Copies of this chain bind each other. A is one copy, B any other.
Amino acid sequence: MENYRFDNLDKSILKSLMSNARTPYAELAKQCGVSAGTIHVRIEKMRQAGVITGTQVRVDAKRLGYDVCCFIGINLNNARDYPHTLELLRELEEVVEAYYTTGNYSIFIKVMARSIEHLQDVLINKVQAIEAIQSTETLISLQNPINRSVTP
């Protein structure tokens, strides 16, 4: 994975687009003191370099009805069960993130649920129902005061 070589122009463009993917090119051009054509060229270059992988709307999970956010540390009976367990977790739509980690757990997942009851259901009937999983440890998030992206 080689890194893309950035100059300050690329960084400025990225910063703006990371807070608003629909910033007009003309405005980016004004902010950066270059022409809109140049903006277009740079964005296209970053897209092809795989730095920009797409655009998405930010959605308020709470307003979508997902009030409960939690992390679950998972220990496997056997490290070899990792790939298969991952596939089973992928099928659970409540599992929004998964990490393969060193430390106390083998797999670490983030789960979004509609309520505590829903979380219980996911945890007991879906996650812990996976045979390869030996034990789990749950961390309920009450607040998410910081949520941002890496700085270009």
Contact = CB atoms under 8 A, between A and B. Distances in A.
A65 to B, nearest CB: 5
A114 to B, nearest CB: 9
Interface of A: 1, 3-4, 14, 17-22, 49-67, 69, 71, 73, 86, 89-90, 93, 95-105, 108-109, 112, 137-152
A66 to B, nearest CB: 5
Nearest to A146: B98
Contacts of A150: 59, 61, 64, 66, 93, 96, 112
B99 A54 contact: no
Given A64-B3, A69-B99, A112-B150, A56 B58 contact: yes
Contact of A53 (B14, B60, B73, B97): B60
Given A18-B57, A101-B142, 17 more contacts: A3-B63, A14-B57, A17-B56, A19-B56, A21-B22, A51-B63, A52-B58, A52-B59, A54-B57, A66-B150, A71-B71, A86-B146, A95-B146, A96-B147, A100-B145, A104-B137, A112-B150
Contact of A63 (B49, B112, B144): B49
A143 B69 contact: no
A73 to B, nearest CB: 8
**Which 6 interchain pairs have the tightest Cβ spacing?**
A98-B146, A21-B55, A100-B143, A99-B141, A103-B139, A17-B57
B101 A139 contact: yes
Contacts of A99: 69, 71, 139, 141-145
